[in-house]
Structure 1
């Protein structure tokens, strides 16, 4: 792609908070029978598992926003949605709603306006509605393109309207050197238009990366090719040809150049940037730098305009660093592809902020999961994965993500799942949480604490809770084969304690008594003795379970949780 530099002399719009795409409805396109997405101004990060439809969302955006670009999207019969009965839809329809229109925008898009009404049917403002439709005239034939605005198909979408919607699309695995290349006459470098552009580019680049990582950029031009000046502007990096620079850094430079062009464009009514997989070729630190820079579009500098950015990503690192309100998840629900924005979820006071703080690369995997198991902490994380394998469930092949909530923080995570959120199987594995001095019998009825009962009440068709009688470690100690593995793991880190406890357990009568002795001997040792550290112990126990040559029975409540979250999918080796 070639980078062009335009010198604007008559600004049309210098406001920072301009119109933005509020929603997009996609009907009959590729995997989507009918999908609606809501966006916010500024940065939007579209995430989800492979084959969820993220690229289809990008191409749907391009149908309108890149309609005036060379090489814009061309749809064929194969792009029409194939229904479950095998037949294809005869049309693909894309409906775009823009909000936050200024008075000038409303005048320009008069025929596109749709009234916005409150609960009393009072008109509170207007939105602009654009519709693009591809229709199959006959089987095997070309698709017919139609565009209209507003509520009536007779309202034609004019070329002038399309030109006011300025968006740039950056495809995945791009080679930015193609757009940043050629050479430059030395005499031109000192001229004000060029020198000021150089200054702007270097300033933007340093703002993105910081002084430590920033490189020296300079405009270049193919010698003597004045007729194609705008089309042949390129960059030199630290005195080197752009092709000699690293691909990751070139992508950062290119995005900075493109964003600069859009931010300084005061002519277009709307400016957007569509980027697929911006994390490509970037290590985690530079991904964080890029994300910080993309956030700046929400608070443009003086003399710049707001730019709406759409990003697709496969990177949990990118999702972990992002503001939750910027994320939109595209995933597979029981009824087909669906979209969910965490900002639309209902959180208790302070819980969304807690979730934002708790998100890391591992936990952000939940935005890409097809099935989820939520556990309390690291100890349960190690043990559940090892026990699932022993029970014959391959979590990885069944796309199950086990997420630690770092204590009893389920209420910060659960708003993301369920009937009114992401409709994917979600199992919560936790403790019944009885008093510390209460030790349930092996065959006793489950007794839930007040907190556990509240958690149980949050269940729906997609979220189920599964409780141990006391703790996971206590329930593991009910069976002789598991008790021996637990004692062996204890001996590895505390040989003396392990040997003494083994003797004490052998003297116990019945599984329930032995489970109590083992549990108290490790985790309730009294005020004068230090308890065994669960995290370290569980890691060693999980290894022992995973490498055991003999069969290991799995507590029934864990088997139920695994069966629920995996459903009808076959067990490993089944």
Structure 2
């Protein structure tokens, strides 16, 4: 209390640090984020606000689990908006790992960061089939634990595009992944417009990926090398054709491999491409000469002239100039023809 005394009258006044009205007091409270930075929520990003909302919501649900409810279902629609990729993975890994008998979490997303962090068995794909939505669960794929582990390692953030694609073209390695989209564009196949993703599995173990795509209802095709070898009897055998037949048997499918979307080359992708036409031969040789750094390698290439150097010399030279990846990058800008089996594979996957 302050009392002010004047000549003719006295004035009394009270001083206080805040309103005594509880409601007004609550409205003056402020929440700050970023620790010592003490940023008010009004200046926080939308991503930060989303994280805070998730945390408060989960905290409230956990408190209710102790007293009021036995189980809750949490559904989150496209939570990746405005979230840094690291935060996307961190938050949703924790959500999945903390799930137990008291909670079920559904997340609808278009983020490969989230898809790569939750494990392939947890993926459910919604597809439009005949105007109706069909839900397909990856967990229905008949895979061994080793195959699940392989797919889990494969589906990193760059390869998780496989589960968002309308159609998938599975190939062996980087060379096919780099060159085939270029060839497709040259010859009138618009892979982006058709929703086709070209995915390299870096090997020939396609079976697990075929099962995975079939479980999710994703139309897919496979391109694999012929891999000719000489058996103990001195006879040439095409390992690629035998591989394709094993895939059909394991999938329980009949007919020709191409009928099930499995396309086998003659030898290897690089040499099949060189052999497809005279133009391809000239472009391939020019690319090799461009990459050659030693006088001997350049002379060896010049000795070929305009002739096919043969499989062994071709593959040896690719190795000498830096390997398949470097060679593939040199071919991407060149005008080349499509080998027949690649054209058939592209037609198959685009029409699915």
Q: TM-score, normalised by structure 1?
A: 0.51
Q: Which of 285, 295, 298 is the equivalent residue of 2:86?
A: 285
Q: For the Cα contact (< 8 Å) 2:289–2:301, is it kept in 1?
A: no
- Equivalent position of 1:470 in the other structure: 267
Aligned counterparts of 1:536 and 1:525: Cα–Cα separation in 2: 12
How far apart in 2 are the matches of 1:223 and 1:396? 62
- 1:456–1:475 distance in 2 versus 1, CA, 3 Å: farther
Find 2:218's aligned residue among 417, 424, 432: 424
Residue among 273, 280, 288 paired with 1:490:
288
Q: 1:309 & 1:358 partners in 2: Cα distance?
A: 24
Post-superposition shift, 1:403? 0.8
Q: Which among 312, 325, 328 is matched to residue 538 of structure 1?
A: 328
Post-superposition offset of 1:335 = 7.6
- Aligned partners of 2:183 and 2:281: how far apart in 1? 14
More helix by share: 2
Where do residues 244-263 of structure 1 align in structure 2 (5 Å cutoff)? 244-263=43-62
Q: For the Cα contact (< 8 Å) 2:168–2:196, is it kept in 1?
A: yes
Distance 2:282 2:317 in 1: 19
Q: 1:424 touches 1:462 (CA, 8 Å); kept in 2?
A: no
Rounded to whole Å, the distance in 2 between the matches of 1:307 and 1:356 is 24
CA shift, 1:233, in A, is 8.5
Q: What are the superposed Cα offsets for residues 533-562 of structure 1, whole Å, 9 maximum, x if unpaired?
A: 101111221222xxx3xxx32100011011
Provide the rounded CA distance (Å) in 2 between the counterparts of 1:294 and 1:270. 15
C-alpha spacing 1:336/1:536, structure 2 compared with 1 (3 Å): farther
Q: 8 Å contact 1:378–1:535 — kept in the other structure?
A: yes
Asked whether the equivalents of residues 89 and 117 of structure 2 are also in contact (C-alpha less than 8 Å), the reply is yes
1:396 and 2:192 equivalent?
Answer: yes
Where 1:524 maps in the other structure, the secondary structure is helix
Report 1:329-348 matches (<5 A): 329-333=125-129, 336-348=132-144
Deviations 1:514-544 (A, max 9, x none): 1xx2542242369xx8574101111221222
CA shift, 1:504, in A, is 3.2
Contact 1:431/1:471, CA 8 A, preserved across alignment: yes
The 8 Å contact of residues 88 and 114 in structure 2, kept in 1 or not, is answered as yes
Point out the structure with max Rg over C-alpha: 2
> What is the Cα deviation at residue 268 of structure 1?
1.5
CA 1:484–1:258 in 2, change beyond 3 Å: closer, same or farther?
A: same
**Deviation readout 1:161-212 (Å, 9 max, x if unpaired):** xxxxxxxxxxxxxxxxxxxxxxxxx99xxxxxxxxxxxxxxxxxxxxxxxxx
Q: After alignment, is 342-351 or 371-380 more displaced?
A: 342-351
Q: Which residue is equivalent to 1:555?
A: 339
Q: 1:351 to 1:234 in 2, by over 3 A?
A: farther
Q: Could you list the per-position Cα deviations for residues 484-525 of structure 1 after superposition, in whole angstroms to 9, with x for gaps in the alignment?
A: 1112221222144663344333374xxxxx1xx254224236
1:365 counterpart = 2:149:
no
d(CA) in 2 for partners of 1:481 and 1:554? Answer: 11
Q: What 5-or-longer segments of structure 1 have no aligned partner? A: 1-185, 188-221, 300-304, 438-443, 509-513, 569-574
Which residue is equivalent to 1:566? 350
| Aligned residues of 2:115 and 2:160 also touching (Cα < 8 A) | yes
SS at 1:417's partner residue?
helix
SS of 2:217's equivalent in the other structure is coil
Shift of residue 235, structure 1, vs aligned partner: 3.2
Aligned length: 319
Q: Following superposition, which runs of at least 4 residues in structure 1 exceed 6 angstroms of deviation?
A: 231-234, 444-447
Return the offset for 1:285: 1.1
Distance of 2:132 and 2:296 partners within structure 1: 54
Distance in 1, Cα, partners of 2:150 & 2:73: 31
Deviation at 1:279, TM superposition (A): 0.9
1:297/1:448 Cα in 2 relative to 1: closer, same or farther (>3 Å)? closer
State whether residues 373 and 427 of structure 1, in contact with CA within 8 Å, keep that contact through their aligned partners in structure 2: yes
1:405 aligns with 2:185: no
- Measure how far apart 1:341 and its partner are: 1.2
* Distance (Å, rounded) in 2 between the aligned partners of 1:351 and 1:257: 38
Asked if structure 1 preserves the Cα contact closer than 8 Å seen for 2:124 and 2:216, the reply is no
Q: Which residue of 2 aligns with 1:294?
A: 95
